[in-house]
Every structure is written in C-alpha cells, then in structure tokens.
A and B are shown apart, each in its own frame.
Chain A
Amino acid sequence: MSTTLDALPQAAPLPRVRLKLRWRLRLPLLHVALAVLSLLTVMPLLWMVRTAFTPHAEVFRSTLALVPANPTVANFPAAFGLFPVGDWFLNSLGVATACALGKLIVAAPAAFAFARGRFAGRDAGFALVVGTMTVPYVITLIPTYMAVVQAGLYDTHLAVIIPTVAHCGFACFFLRQAFRQLPGEIFEAAAIDGAGPWRQFLLVALPNVRAALAALFVLGFLSAWNLYLWPLLVLESPEHKTLAIGLKLFATTGEQGGQWGPLMATAMLGVAPVLILFLLAQKQIVSAFVTSGIR
C-alpha cells in the first residue's frame, strides 16, 4: 500500500550514529537517566492505579508503598453508585466516535473535490475550509453557544458533535494531500470506464488512503475524547455528561470527605480506552501525532 503514513519519517529506522569510545562509555549513564525519567513519567498513572485499588480506610494513610496492603475492587462499584459513571463512559465513547467519523464523512468528499475536481470556486472553497485552521475556537465560542441554545440542542450530544465536526479544516487539508499523492492514472482509467466523481471517490480514492483515514480517525477520536470546555458549557444533566466533565464534578465533591479511591477508579476508566488504543497502535498514533504536528 502506498500511503501517506508509510512515507512518514517516523516509520524509517533512526540512524545509528557511530560514536567515539569516549562517548560510547557514557551510554550506560544515559540508559540509567532515561530509565529513571521514564519511570517518573508514568509514576502519576501508577499511583492512580494504586489508589483505584486501595480500600477507603487505607487511602488516607500516608504511605509510599506502590501496592496497597489490602487491594480491593470495591472502588469501582462505589464510583458507579456515586455518579452515573457508566453513562459518562458510554457518552464519551459515543461522542468521540461520532465526532471522529463525522469529520471523515464531511472532510473526505470535500478533500477529494479539492484534490481532483476542476470547478469554478474550487480554490476559494479550499481556502475557506483550510483557513479555519488559523482561527482559534475561542472566538467562535459565544455565538456558537447562543446558536446551540436557540436551536434547542442545549444538553444534547448533538450540541457537542456538530460544532466539533465543523472544525474539519485539518482533516480536509490532510486528506487532500493524501488524494493528490495517488497516481492520476488510476482515476483516468476509471473515468474512461465511465466512473463519475462519486464512484471514483468511493471505489478508487477511499480504499487507497485507508491508512490516512485511520490516522485521522485516531486523531479525531482522541481530540474528541479529550474535549473539555465545550461539553462543559452545553451538557447539563449528570447523565448526559462526558467522562472528562463528569470527572470535574466528581473531583469537586471534596466535601464528601475525599472519595479518592472511587475517583481514581473513574479516572482509570477515562485513561483505559486511550491506553488500550495506544498499546495496540502505538506506532500509528505516534505517526498520526507527528503528521498533525508537522502540518
């Protein structure tokens, strides 16, 4: 498969640099330093996992032991009893999937038209779409909120999904690049056989940019999973909240006497999908980030 992603520098092995002996002797030291740094980096997450499995009475005992004396899973049902954590989780999953898919569905045909089409206003349309990448969403916040309220979408998931999908500038840009990298001959061949733009798009173009689509989906999913301010503004009912904003409500109920075990259990639920995604497709995720960073 010839794809954008495979062409990325990340996929190429890093060059091994030959060093002089004086420098090579320092490498073990470098290993130690990196091992320590790596451990420090994951430590907060390990502590989260530890707390999630620590019984309530033990949470408040100041200790540095990484494994609780009496591990328990009681914090998970406890969390579900305190807040509609299950709803939050499913809401996050649904909203993130819808946002990621929605962006692809909107961006892919547009990107194809911008890449292969010859029509009046093409460049203006492309500029209009890609130009949105330079607009900080802060400036759109208040009118969008007012529009959502006026449209009766307040406290619905559509209120989160539609404006998120609308910010599709990067997806359009990225897919247009991918489409342009495909050899023109395959489209010409299809055209000779009588395929119109839609058929060229659905049956020729899309199957050939699968990896780019997957990368975009992952990026879209992660960014929607991590959405905070906007859902905070438009989702009101506890059972409509997403995990990210539900956690905030949970975390601020400190007066309950610090339900840290159940809170960390809930945070673990928030970390789990991205963690699993990360472990399954570390390379792809990293490359997706790299591409979006290089843009």
Chain B
Amino acid sequence: MVSLSNHEGIARASVQTASWFDRLTMKRFSSRRSPLIWWLMAAPAVLLCLGFVWLPMAATFGLSVVDVNVLRGMAVWRGLAHYGDTLANPDFHLALKNTAIYLAVLLPLQILVPLLLAYALMHLAGRVVSLYRGALFLPAVLSFPIAAVVWLWLFNPVVGVLNAVLTALGGMPQRWLNDPDMAIYAVCAVSFWKCFGLNLPIFAAALANVPPELRQAAALDGAGPWRRAWHVELPMISPTLFFAGVTTLLLVLDEIVGAVDVLTEGGPFKTSTNLLYFLYERAFRHFQFGEAAAVATLIMGLVAAATWLQFRMFERRVHYA
C-alpha cells in the first residue's frame, strides 16, 4: 500500500500540469458538475454496447420471423415458421443432444479435476510446485483452434502419435475423429485439455481464502484432510465452484466451436456438432439467415433457462462466505 500523501503528491503535480483536454471541455460546458462531460466520457462505451449488442439482439428477433435472401437482398414474412421448422429438424435435435453430451462430460470434469489438483498442490511445497502449476495451466492460454490443430496431428489415424502409443502398448489403433462413436469424446478430450488449467488457480485462490482458524478448529476436533475438505473447505469455496460451472456452460455453448470446426467440422455426419455449430452451418454455409436467427433465439432462451436453473439449484446449497 502506498501512503495517502504520495497520492496527494501525484495529484498536486498532475494538477499543475495543464491539460488542454480539460480546458477544452471546461470552457464548453462551464462547470465540472455538468453531466455532459460525464456523459461524453461514458458515451463511446454506451453507444458501442447499444449498437453492437442490444440492437443486434433485437434485430435477431426481427430476422427470425422473415426469410432473408442475402444474395438478392429481399425479406419475406414467415411468422413463426422458422421456429416450427427448427424444432422439427432432426439435425437440431442432434445438436441439442450433443450439446447435452458435451455438458455432461465436461461439467463434472472441469470442476472435479482442477479441484483435486488444487487440493493436492495445497499440500505440497518447494520450487517444483510452481513448475507443476505452470505446466498444468499452460494449455489454458492457447486458443481453441491452435490446440485443435496440435491434436489433429496427434489423432492422425495413420501416422499420429496416439495410435503409435496405443500400438506400442499392444492396443488396437483407433480411427479417433473418423469414428462416429468416438469423435465427440475426442473433441471433449481436447477441450478438457485446453480448459481444465483455467479453473486450477481460481480454485487454489479460493482454497487459500478459507480462513485458517476454521481449518485449525477442525483439526483440533481431530478431522483429517478428507473430513476437513468435505466439511470445511468445500462448503467455503462452493460459490467459486458454482461460477466455474457457469463458465463451463458458456465454454460448451460458445468457445468449443473453434475445436469442433478444426477437428471434425461437426462430423462424421453431425455426431460431434453442437448448437452453435448448427447455427453457424445454417447461417454461414447455407445462408438461411431467418432460420438461423430463430436458432439463435432458441439458444438464447436455453442459455437463460440453464443459467436460471443453475442459480436456483445452487441458491440453497452454495455457502456464500
């Protein structure tokens, strides 16, 4: 912490330096109490948010009830037909089912594994620990497409190292991304590899924030590490776990698309697609913008519902410190 006098020093020095910017605005608007100056400062952010988030959101609802021909620039009223078509589309059902699979696989993994690791790291000491931390966190800074390209090479069924390892261990070589029963889990594996490290320092920080008195009290009561973890630490960090869950949900619905596109393009025959990829295909492969806007609206509804459900489910269980 820097002392207050130092701040004042900075302030005084800075005030003496004339700022043409301020003089300009002061002259125009006479008083620093004028709300206009404040509004000018906030304006770019507010306008950008309006123009690039709220307005497009409204436009999406509007688009979802028309048929747009991008090549000819025409729009035809369709009412709720796009919603009906989408809900009846077997490919949409597949995307929905796959999104559920992605969630069911990644949600527990993304929370359990980093939690166990954070817990283990807490009990270790020495320089080597920061090495572990660095290594485990490293993939988290990569981008999905780059991570996916690296794994594309590992997964290569002919000359890839994974099959080489499998064969060396006496196993059967696999088709990995070409195998309709395996592709989605391969994408899960890459996503997990790329993302689990992200939660590690977050959980570690939460664990470090658990008041030591609580731990000591539990230890005095004769609780071992397992019981302490279960009765003291887990309840204390539950809000963090909850937010990690929300982040994972967004990950599955959003970012994962970079891995899907590079690894499988949603294939073989849509077995590894998800909702966003389905939307991408409707909108930007087949240019059915109206239909895709309906899909976007449905996804938005699902995200809202899922988030609400998560909040409701955790509301009572989460122990806010």
B236 within 8 A of A: no
Answer whether A270 and B146 are a contact pair too, CB < 8 Å, given A140-B53, A189-B11, A251-B262. yes
Q: Contacting A282 at CB < 8 Å: which of B134, B144, B292?
A: B134
- Least CB separation from A162: chain B residue: B52
Known A10-B205, A144-B56, A228-B144; contact A42-B2, beta-carbon cutoff 8 A: no
Contact A267 B150, CB 8 Å, known A30-B123, A183-B4 = yes
Dominant SS among interface residues on chain A: helix
CB distance from B7 to the nearest CB of A (A): 4
Do the beta carbons of B150 and A45 come within 8 Å of each other?
yes
Q: Is B8 an interface residue (CB 8 A)?
A: yes
| Closest chain A CB from B117 CB (angstroms) | 7
Q: Which residues from chain B contact A198 at a C-beta distance below 8 Å?
A: 19, 21-22, 25, 37, 41
Interface size on B, residues (CB 8 A): 124
When distances are taken between beta carbons in the complex, the residues of chain A under 8 Å from B59 are 142-143
Contact call B159/A190, Cβ cutoff below 8 A:
no
Using Cβ atoms and an 8 Å threshold, which residues of chain A touch B122?
A: 14-15, 17
Residues B15 and A190 in contact, CB atoms below 8 Å apart: yes
Residues of B within 8 A of A34 (CB): 117, 120-121, 124, 132
Cα separation A199 to B123 with both chains bound (whole Å): 49
Q: How far is the CA of A145 from the CA of B282 in the complex (A)?
A: 14
B145:A225 contact, CB within 8 angstroms: no
Task: Please state if A172 and B45 are interface contacts (CB–CB under 8 Å).
Answer: yes
Instruction: Flag A253-274 by CB within 8 Å of B: 1 or 0 each.
Output: 0000010100110010011001
In the assembled complex, how far is the CB of residue A201 from the closest CB belonging to chain B, in whole angstroms? 7
Could you tell me if A138 and B205 are in contact, using CB atoms closer than 8 angstroms? no
> Which stretch (B78-86, B97-105, B178-186, B195-203) binds chain A?
B195-203
Report the bound CA distance from A241 to B82 in whole Å.
Answer: 33
Task: State the Cβ distance, A3 to closest chain B Cβ, in Å.
Answer: 9
Docked complex: A92-131 residues within 8 A CB-CB of B: 105-107, 109-114, 117-122, 125, 128-129
Q: Say if the beta carbon of A74 comes within 8 Å of chain B.
A: no
- Residue B296 contacts which of A141, A233, A251 (CB distance < 8 angstroms)? A141
Which listed residue (B7, B32, B43, B215) contacts A17, Cβ 8 A? B215
A sample of 23 cross-chain residue pairs with beta-carbon separation below 8 angstroms, ordered by A number, consists of A10-B208, A19-B225, A41-B193, A41-B197, A64-B161, A121-B35, A121-B39, A122-B42, A125-B46, A128-B54, A140-B52, A141-B279, A162-B48, A190-B14, A191-B32, A197-B32, A199-B15, A203-B17, A248-B145, A248-B149, A289-B140, A293-B198, A293-B243
- Known interface pairs A196-B37, A226-B258, A251-B152; 16 further A-B residue pairs with C-beta atoms within 8 A, sorted by A's residue number: A15-B122, A19-B123, A38-B131, A59-B159, A106-B44, A110-B46, A114-B42, A119-B39, A138-B296, A139-B60, A140-B56, A141-B279, A208-B10, A251-B262, A282-B134, A293-B202
